[in-house]
Amino acid sequence: MAALGKAFDATEHDTTQREFAGELPNGIFKLEIEASEVKPTSTGSGTFLATTVSVVEPEEFKGRKIFNNNYNLENANPKAQEIGQKQFASLCRAIGIQSVEDSEELHFRVFVAKVGRGKPSVGKDGKNYPGRAEIKRYYFPDEELPELGTDEIQPAEDVPAAANDNKPAAAPAAAAKPAAAAAGEKRMPWGAKK
């Protein structure tokens, strides 16, 4: 048991809760890192910085989270390490810092980024999962910043296609024959007239 120090009266606070449906939409957002942790890679041969990113603006999305934003800092695969370090350098530049020793130096510093949907995936459990929101591009303070907001066109709630079960595709319905074929005109399989 832990004493709070004084009585807390929950009736003195706004307890309005918002329901969030689906992933964060594609668009331009002001964001901030609210939590971070350096973790070993799955193989144990490197490290990555795992971050929890929170939306600051636009107001209607304030508080929404992006959880899968990780930066490879050290990796046995040189290409993976190079990509991770470039992304991390872009984050630092967007925040306006040049050198970092502790990831907490990144916390609660606002930056602007384009968020987009990643690719759908199949989990280790064999289930299909839609693409998750992820940072696609950082905007730097020394360049013209785009207007905040969501993109006009948003991706459909996509899930990956089922794995090929080696069954032949269903034959098209007989009624779907082209009009030319129905009129007696012969066509080659690729559509050219004979």
Residue type, 37: E
Domain assignment present for 44: yes
Summary mean pLDDT of the chain: 81
Domain assignment present for 183: no
24-41: average pLDDT: 94
85-89: average pLDDT: 95
pLDDT-above-90 percentage for the chain: 51
Domain assignment present for 14: no
Residues in the chain: 194
- Residue 38: give the domain boundaries: 22-147
Q: What are phi and psi of 85, to 5 degrees?
A: -70, -35
Those residues with Cβ within 8 angstroms of residue 151's Cβ, 6 or more apart along the chain or in another chain: 25, 26, 27
Tell me whether residue 95 is exposed, middle or buried, using C-beta atoms within 10 angstroms of its C-beta: 0 to 12, 13 to 18, 19 or more. Answer: buried
**Structure confidence at residue 151 (pLDDT):** 84
The answer on pLDDT for 102 being more than 90 is: yes
Instruction: For 115-145, write each residue's pLDDT tens digit.
Output: 998 888 888 898 888 888 999 999 999 999 9
Domain assignment present for 140: yes
Domain assignment present for 90: yes
Domain assignment present for 61: yes
The answer on pLDDT for 98 being more than 80 is: yes
Q: Which of 44, 42, 20 is nearest to 133 (CA)?
A: 20
Domain assignment present for 55: yes
**Structure confidence at residue 16 (pLDDT):** 65
Contacts 24+ apart (CB under 8 A), 137-143: 137/113, 138/90, 138/91, 138/93, 138/94, 138/111, 138/112, 138/113, 139/28, 139/94, 139/111, 139/112, 139/113, 139/114, 140/93, 140/94, 141/94, 141/96
> Number of structural domains, the chain?
1
- Point out which residues pair with 107 in neighbouring strands: 33
DSSP state of 141: T
More confident residue, 7 or 30: 30
> Residue 118: how many CA atoms within 13 Å on its side-chain side?
13
More confident residue, 89 or 168: 89
Domain assignment present for 46: yes
CATH code of 81's domain: 2.40.50
The answer to whether 169 and 163 have CB atoms below 8 angstroms apart is no
Instruction: For 148-189, write each residue's pLDDT tens digit.
Output: 998 887 776 544 444 444 445 555 554 444 444 445 555 555
Which residue is it, tokens 């050219």? 192
The answer on pLDDT for 193 being more than 90 is: no
The answer on pLDDT for 87 being more than 90 is: yes
